[in-house]
């Protein structure tokens, strides 16, 4: 048997699970109902036999009073009283003055039994290891004034249990048929209900690249959590595919120019033997390679920044007052090479946020890169931290040429570059900053620098949970 067939046999069936779940309680219900039926039949049989037993006792007492001239029970009557097909019954007649007159001497009523006059009394007794049900009556001895007779008849419990079992056996087929009918109805109901999933199954099977939501129409209420989960999965897949398509389009758009330039300068180098021309072409090729490398890196960074929101374990408690100075210190050497005074200002106390260290580092690196690229030599760039009520503000400010007010609102758009800028760039740095800030539920503000010079970018973080 192939592995696929083994998996198919091992796969659980919802129909079988439902039917098994219902069959077990139905079987238990049949057993419980049988027990209840037997107990009820036994109670009924005990009642009927007790009535008959009292009547027989009264009949024997009447016989003793009217038809027995010597007060004794004839052998024929004794035989009939004690006869039982698979055992025997018992009787006794005790005189208060003379003791046992007739019957079994072991069947003497217990003392104190007759407390309410001469009414028949019923009780349980054991004789010769047999459990018996007895009825006794006390009567005046018609042949001896002042004497009392105690007349007792007892019978085994066999007939009572036999009748209860017969009632049970008669009821079991009807109950079994009822359970089978209920099981068949459940089978039919489960099968019919599961067929309601066929349109949904066919709809999903007929899809190829369609990730549109299934929706709630014509979907059973019990299946709604599943379909809504599938719709959520479809939404995430659509987002991932859209991100993938956008990445391909962005990469094609941004890498077209460097690749075309590489081809042009490679042709220049191949078409001439002039060392100066070849050197100039190679310099251009090197710059274009660096540009293509930076563009591809930023495209990947933007794609990572645009991924879905937080998941379990994505964030940790971070102290920006310790993290930001450490990250800024790593960029001081580059700032010195670019002749830019890079510094940090901030409080000494902790500034806690819930975030991702690597994303925050990428965001700050892009802000510093933006200043190093556009502020110009001799400029001053300051990274600062401060509180705004309960929020925390991270700012990067320079005193370079800045951005005209008409273009500030467009900062953060993908591939947007301020018109007239002589510096080469991909237009993705601030877009990456924007997406990482959104991932942290932070706000980005773009403003002019101090005294209207330069650019100030502010990231306002919400406080850490529980602070």
Contact 4, 172 (CB under 8 A): no
CB 149 within 8 A of CB 138: yes
What's the pLDDT tens digit per position in 172-231?
888 888 878 877 887 787 777 777 777 777 777 777 677 777 776 666 676 777 778 877
Q: Which of 279-283, 293-297, 305-309, 416-420 has the highest mean pLDDT?
A: 279-283
pLDDT score recorded for residue 7: 41
What is the average pLDDT score of the chain? 78
Look-up of token digits 């009822």:
178
Quickly state the pLDDT bin for 460 (edges 50, 70, 90). Answer: very high
Q: Which pLDDT tens digit goes with each residue over 156-173? A: 888 888 888 888 888 888
DSSP 462: P
| Rounded Cα gap, residues 321 and 326, in angstroms | 9
- The pLDDT score that the predictor gives to residue 330 is 87
Lowest mean pLDDT: which of 31-45, 269-283, 315-329, 432-446? 269-283
pLDDT of 324 = 92
| DSSP state string for 81-92 | HHEETTEE-EEE
Q: What confidence score (pLDDT) does residue 385 get? A: 93
* pTM, to two decimals: 0.45
Task: Provide the pLDDT for residue 312.
Answer: 43
Give the three-state DSSP class for 121: strand
Q: 98: which DSSP letter?
A: T
Structure confidence at residue 436 (pLDDT): 86
Residue 15 pLDDT > 90, yes or no? no
- List helix spans (H) across 67-135: 75-82
Question: Residues of the chain with pLDDT > 70: what percent?
Answer: 76
pLDDT tens per residue across span 23-55: 788 788 888 888 898 899 999 999 998 898 888
Residues in the chain: 467
**Domains of the chain: residue spans and CATH:** 24-165 (3.30.450), 221-305 (1.10.287), 316-461 (3.30.565.10)
pLDDT at 298: 62
> Within 10 A of 48 (CB to CB), how many other CB atoms are there?
13
Question: Helix or strand or coil: residue 394?
Answer: strand
Total Cβ atoms within 10 A of residue 22: 16
In angstroms, rounded to a whole number, what is the distance separating the alpha carbons of residues 340 and 321?
Answer: 23
pLDDT at 384: 93
Distance of CA 182 to the CA centre of its chain: 30
Q: In this predicted structure, what is the pLDDT of residue 395?
A: 92
Residue 335: pLDDT above 80? yes
Give the burial class of 91: count Cβ atoms within 10 A of its Cβ; 0-12 exposed, 13-18 middle, 19 or more buried: buried
**CA dist 276 to 94, 261, 266, 280, 283, Å?**
147, 18, 14, 6, 11
Nearest 10 degrees: Cα torsion 203, 209, 210, 211: 110
């Amino acid at each position: 048997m192939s592995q696929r067939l083994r998996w198919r046999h091992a796969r659980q069936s919802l129909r079988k699970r439902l039917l098994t779940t219902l069959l077990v309680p139905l079987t238990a219900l049949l057993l419980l109902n049988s027990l209840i039926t037997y107990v009820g039949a036994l109670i009924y049989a005990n009642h009927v036999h007790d009535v008959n037993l009292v009547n027989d006792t009264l009949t024997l007492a009447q016989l003793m009073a009217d038809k027995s001239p010597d007060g004794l029970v004839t052998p024929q009557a004794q035989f009939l009283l004690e006869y039982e097909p698979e055992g025997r019954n018992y009787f006794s007649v005790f005189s208060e003055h003379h003791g046992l007159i007739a019957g079994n001497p072991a069947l003497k009523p217990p003392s104190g039994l007759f407390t309410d006059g001469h009414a028949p009394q019923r009780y349980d007794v054991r004789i010769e290891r047999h459990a018996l049900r007895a009825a006794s009556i006390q009567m005046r001895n018609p042949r001896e004034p002042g004497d009392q007779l105690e007349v007792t008849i007892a019978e085994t419990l066999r007939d009572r249990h036999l009748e209860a079992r017969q009632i049970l056996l008669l009821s079991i087929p009807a109950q079994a048929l009822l359970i089978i009918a209920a099981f068949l109805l459940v089978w039919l109901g489960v099968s019919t209900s599961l067929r309601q999933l066929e349109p949904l199954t066919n709809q999903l099977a007929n899809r190829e690249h369609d990730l549109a939501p299934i929706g709630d129409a014509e979907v059973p209420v019990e299946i709604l959590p599943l379909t809504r989960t599938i719709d959520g999965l479809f939404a995430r897949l659509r987002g991932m595919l859209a991100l993938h398509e956008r990445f391909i389009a962005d990469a094609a758009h941004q890498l077209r120019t460097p690749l075309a330039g590489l081809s042009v300068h490679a042709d220049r180098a191949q078409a001439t033997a002039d060392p100066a021309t070849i050197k100039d072409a190679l310099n251009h090729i090197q710059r274009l390679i660096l540009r293509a490398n930076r563009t591809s890196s930023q495209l990947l960074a933007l794609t990572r920044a645009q991924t879905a929101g937080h998941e379990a374990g994505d964030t940790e408690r971070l102290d920006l007052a310790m993290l930001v100075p450490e990250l800024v210190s790593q960029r001081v050497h580059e700032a010195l090479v670019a002749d830019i005074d890079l510094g940090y200002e901030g409080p000494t106390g902790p500034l806690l946020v819930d975030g991702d260290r690597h994303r925050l580092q990428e965001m700050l690196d892009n802000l510093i890169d933006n200043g190093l690229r556009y502020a110009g030599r001799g400029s001053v760039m300051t990274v600062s931290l401060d509180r705004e009520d309960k929020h925390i503000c991270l700012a990067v400010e320079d005193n370079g040429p800045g951005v005209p007010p008409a273009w500030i609102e467009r900062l953060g758009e993908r591939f947007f570059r301020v018109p007239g800028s002589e510096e080469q760039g991909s237009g993705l740095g601030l877009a990456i900053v924007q997406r990482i800030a959104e991932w942290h539920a932070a706000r980005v503000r773009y403003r002019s620098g101090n005294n209207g010079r330069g650019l100030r970018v502010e990231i306002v973080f919400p406080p850490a949970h529980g602070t």
